Amino acid sequence: MFCKNDACLTILSHEAFRSNQPVPMHLRMKIPLVLLGSFLGLCLAVPIDRAPPKQEVEPPAEPADTGLYYDRYLREVIDVLETDNHFREKLQAANADDIKSGKLSKELDFVSHHVRTKLDELKRQEVSRLRMLIKAKMDATMEGNVQIDHSALLKQFEHLDPQNQHTFEARDLELLIQTATKDLENYDAAHHEEFKRYEMMKEHERREYLKSLDEDKRRMEEAHYEEMKKKHREHPKVNVPGSKDQLKEVWEETDGLDPNDFNPKTFFKLHDTNGDGVLDEQELEALFTKELEKVYDPKNEEDDMVEMEEERLRMREHVMKNVDSNHDRLVTLEEFLKSTERKEFNEAGGWETVDETQIYTEDELRRFEQELATQEAALIQRAEELRKEHEVLQQRQIELDAQKKEYQQAVIQMEQKKAQQAEAPGAPAAGPDGELKFQAQVPEGAVVQDKPEEADQVSDVHPGPPGDAAHPDTKRLGAFPRTSSSANLTHILPKPRTVQDHR
């Protein structure tokens, strides 16, 4: 009822306002009560809980690939070991020497049973993967039906114990750590060598292209090349990686903080993204992004992104060399703070980029081109051998096709002969194996004697016309009885032809 009265009062108030008539007194007394009731209703109403908007959870960024052929196996083993609280505590307390010496691997005996079970499964998967790689390599280089000794071939892989292929033991962890440490130390050197070959190949292809041009086009191409080099070098100053100027620039532009409030300890904690208390190689390389963007832009023709990655690697090596005192490829807070106290940290020098550094000499380029020429000659020779083999195979195929056609034609002819013999009237019967049975045929009208001795007499002379002697070179089919009348032989002997018959 209260709600209905509220609605009525509202309608009446609006009608009075529209008709310019005063609101009755009894309604004026109720209007404040209606407003008060509405206010109390709003205050005492039960709030409606609305679900907050769902925030999209960004998937965690995958760690950068180490470049090792067993990178996945290495990361999976580390992830499983870190699930064990005891091993994780020992790992955080261990230094680089403990890790490299294999002391940490002895703690594997104290991890939980389910962790050991997962490690065993990871090792079996890795052994299976290596066996597949070995088989694929052997299939590509050797003939089939060759027995492969996987146990012997697995010894070439140093990151696991080939003697035990089923369970993950302390020896496996020790070998994995030692092999990964050694391979990572050699990885940077191998990357530099690969980049040098890349640069020499670029220069070799450029020179070969210039040789194919005429004088005017060659001059234009050289001018364009020098213009691109000059444009690439026109960039802002690149700070020395790990210097105060470089870190303060990251502090200001990336972190959005006041450069006057720069604090090395706070900076370290801000960029220790995974919170493990150290800056690894990936976290260090992320600090150089601003410096690299000054020089390299993927939209520019003159900027090479392969050179940018080489530049990033050189910057990281520079910082590690000056900051990583124990050479464990990790930067601790203590090492970082000590590096900020050095004289080099405050020097405002510039950084020489890759294009300002001599990557190779002319002698190295000449040897590289000779190597390419040797490889090209070997490929041409191999291509010629393959071409000749292909021709031989083609000729052999032609010969086989010709033989096949001959065999098919012979089969068709045999089938046709069989069909003709089967359709011919009076054809001799065939034997069980398809052979023909020949039988002696008696001339039409001949009298077959019952006496075998007379039927068996055969003469080598055919009978001639009556009264003529037998021809010596003809054969007679059978002997006939002699009679006194020559008319008795007219139905047996052949009738001589007359002139009218020839006509």
Distance in angstroms (rounded) separating the CA atoms of residues 118 and 77: 9
Distance in angstroms (rounded) separating the CA atoms of residues 239 and 246: 5
- The residue ranking higher by pLDDT, 246 or 327, is 246
- Residue 12 corresponds to which tokens in the numbers above? 């009446």
Mean pLDDT value across residues 26-50: 52
pLDDT at residue 372 tops 70: yes
- The residue ranking higher by pLDDT, 150 or 322, is 322
Handedness of CA 293, 298, 301, 307 (dihedral sign): positive
- Measuring CA to CA, which residue among 255, 261, 246 is closest to residue 340? 246
| pLDDT (0 to 100) of residue 31 | 53
**DSSP code at position 48:** P
Mean pLDDT value across residues 305-332: 90
User: pLDDT category, 174, cuts 50, 70, 90?
Assistant: confident
Other C-beta atoms closer than 10 Å to the C-beta of 374 total 10
- The residue ranking higher by pLDDT, 156 or 456, is 156
* Bridge partners, 253 (sequence order): none
- The residue ranking higher by pLDDT, 138 or 317, is 317
Question: How does the average pLDDT of the chain come out, rounded?
Answer: 76
Q: What is the pLDDT of residues 253-302, one digit of tens each?
A: 999 999 899 999 999 999 999 888 889 888 999 999 999 999 999 999 88
pTM exceeding the 0.75 threshold for the entire prediction: no
Answer yes or no: are the C-beta atoms of 91 and 104 closer than 8 Å. yes
Distance in angstroms (rounded) separating the CA atoms of residues 196 and 310: 10
Q: What is the largest CA-CA distance in the chain?
A: 176
Residue with tokens 């990871």: 122
Distance in angstroms (rounded) separating the CA atoms of residues 354 and 483: 131
The two beta strands, 331-332 and 278-279, are: antiparallel
| pLDDT (0 to 100) of residue 330 | 86
Three-class DSSP category at 242:
coil
| pLDDT (0 to 100) of residue 401 | 94
Secondary structure in 3-state letters for 141-173: HCCCCCCCCHHHHHHHCCCCCCCCCCCCCHHHH
